[in-house]
Structure 1
Amino acid sequence: MVEIERKFLVKNEDFKAEFYQKNRITQGFLNTDPLRTVRIRIKDETAFLTVKGKNNEAGLSRFEWEKEIDKTEAEALLKLCEPGMIDKARFLVKSASHIFEVDEFYGENEGLIVAEVELASETENFEKPKWLGQEVTGDPKYYNSQLSKNPYKSW
């Protein structure tokens, strides 16, 4: 239940020539407290309730619990969320032995593209694709919970 990941900006759209899966995601937050965020997510026709804890000092790992829920229930819960929804497409891209989740944001966060890679340990090495840019791991302004309150277009 501990998630270890690193997050990067994406320099260009070259990843679109490499992806093997794409999903549309809508999500809102019932709670955006940095100590515990509670998220409702609809990914195509599947829905999830997710609770995330506070990041460690390096910003690389944190507690994460996720449960699939009924899509109709998720749609009702989205109406209770704090203001600011996240709308994005997620592209899955395989790079060597890792899978990068590349999120292209829409709406108030249009123009922002970030990539995350989950790791087995905080010191695990991985191959960086050419389209990967500056690392933003641990920078709160790139957390979806913060993008819902302070969108990219307002920076």
Structure 2
Amino acid sequence: MAQEIERKFLVKDDSYRKMADSSSRIRQGYICSIRGRTVRVRIRDAKGYLTIKGPSNASGTSRYEWEHELPLDEAEELMRLCEPGMIDKTRYLVKVGNHTFEVDEFYGDNEGLVVAEVELKSEDEAFERPDFLGEEVTGQVKYYNSFLMKVPYNRWKNDPEIG
């Protein structure tokens, strides 16, 4: 089984843009988005992907992930099967020390939300923290893309009860 281990943070300024090695536009939808099991369709630039994710561990840092690249036309067809709601974002890749941070800047109903993730080899692996990192939100369900698709940021950003 492929295991994804990552930590997620809010981003406190836009300095990541100047530090980014590259960026790409991402649109994604969910064929299934029940808690603990998601099936995602993603179009990243001109490529498609189908991803299945399992439940997170207790700390929210680790979960099963399987991904397969698809032809763009197949990904576009699968997008029509997705649940209502769509994630639209730009992803910036920012190398800091031995790690690459993926910084997602959201659009549409999630406008104003910017999060950074770093993938790790183990849950306790040390990493250099760039200055743009803010509060850690690892394991907070309201920051999962599958939650943002159903309850967008603009509906809860001023409501601490959500999530």
Task: Please state how far the C-alpha of 1:149 moved relative to its aligned partner.
Answer: 0.2
Structure 1 residue ranges (4+ consecutive) displaced by more than 2 angstroms after TM superposition: none
State the Cα RMSD in Å.
0.4
1:145 aligns with 2:149: no
2:56 is aligned to 55
User: Which amino acid is 2:82 matched to?
Assistant: C
Residues 4-153 of structure 1: matches in 2 within 5 Å? 4-153=5-154
Structure 1, unaligned runs of 5 or more: none
Residue deviations 1:72-123 (CA, integer Å, cap 9, x gap): 1111111110010000000000001100000000000000000000000000
Aligned residues: 155
The 2-side partners of 1:104 and 1:2 are apart by 25
Task: Please state how far the C-alpha of 1:35 moved relative to its aligned partner.
Answer: 2.1
SS class of match (1:16) = helix
SS class of match (1:66) = strand
Structure 2, unaligned runs of 5 or more: 157-163
Task: Please state how far the C-alpha of 1:70 moved relative to its aligned partner.
Answer: 1.1
The 2-side partners of 1:146 and 1:138 are apart by 12
TM-score (normalised: structure 1):
0.99
SS class of match (1:54) = strand
SS class of match (2:150) = coil
User: Which amino acid is 1:148 matched to?
Assistant: M
The 2-side partners of 1:139 and 1:124 are apart by 20
Task: Please state how far the C-alpha of 1:34 moved relative to its aligned partner.
Answer: 1.4
The 2-side partners of 1:136 and 1:33 are apart by 20
